[in-house]
Amino acid sequence: MAEKKENASNVMAFDALYTTNQIQKLKVLLPYIEPSMQKHLAVYIKYMELQYTINLTKRHASTLCGCGLSQPEKPDLRGLCKELSLYSTPEEIRQLEQIQNILQTMETVQEMSQTMSAMQEIFPDMTMDSLFENPLSGAGQTGEDANGSEKQASPGFSMMDMLMHMLTPEQREMYEMFQQQGGNS
């Protein structure tokens, strides 16, 4: 429950920015008004908020501080999905979770790409083809290096195995799924 209140802080900050103490007092009084008049007062409160918002944005045409849009850093899209889910229907929550999963996958791919780049810096002779060779087919085989000299492949060493061990089980499953789809195309 505390997490929900914490995540709703942006909404509360926005509401506080676009209201006045007078409007807040009317909101406090609303439950004490005769039920037949409550809907009229609710409309009047919203009208006052709209009027105040229009006047405020006319006076201060620049971007608003504290709303986060003017921040130069990369937005936390996964955090945004969590915040939006507080106000979403079950169907929308499922869609937001799918977006979060896609974002997680994209981050994983980016991390793997960075790892691959680092590996290529460490092992400059390594090619993409050598990564995806069958680890058993490379054991004990000989080949030629860049100078044409014969060289022995490292028995049992597979860069792909090493990279696969760095993945979580879920990431391995996702990789295997992509491999299968790539082979079917």
Res 94: pLDDT: 93
Pinpoint the alpha helices (H) of the chain: 2-7, 9-17, 21-29, 35-59, 77-85, 90-122, 128-131, 135-138, 159-165, 169-184
Q: How far, in Å, CA of 87 to CA of 172, rounded?
A: 33
Give whole-number Cα distances, 185 to 28, 181, 182, in Å: 62, 7, 5
What was the pLDDT predicted at 182?
63
Predicted pLDDT of residue 95: 93
Tens digit of each residue's pLDDT, the chain (185 residues): 555 555 677 778 888 888 888 999 999 999 989 999 999 999 999 999 999 999 988 887 665 555 554 555 777 888 888 888 888 899 999 999 999 998 888 888 888 888 888 877 887 776 655 655 554 444 444 445 545 555 444 444 566 777 777 788 888 888 787 777 765 65
- Please list, in sequence order, all residues whose beta carbon lies within 8 angstroms of the beta carbon of residue 146, skipping any fewer than 6 positions away: 125
- pTM across the whole model: 0.47
Give whole-number Cα distances, 136 to 14, 65, 68, 149, in Å.
Answer: 61, 60, 53, 23
pLDDT of residue 158: 64
Per-residue confidence (pLDDT) for residue 140, from 0 to 100? 45
Q: What is the DSSP letter of 75?
A: P
pLDDT at 157: 54
pLDDT at 90: 93
Distance CA(141)–CA(124), nearest Å, equals 20
φ, ψ dihedrals at 144, nearest 5°: -115, 140
Backbone angles phi, psi at 152, to 5 degrees: -100, 135
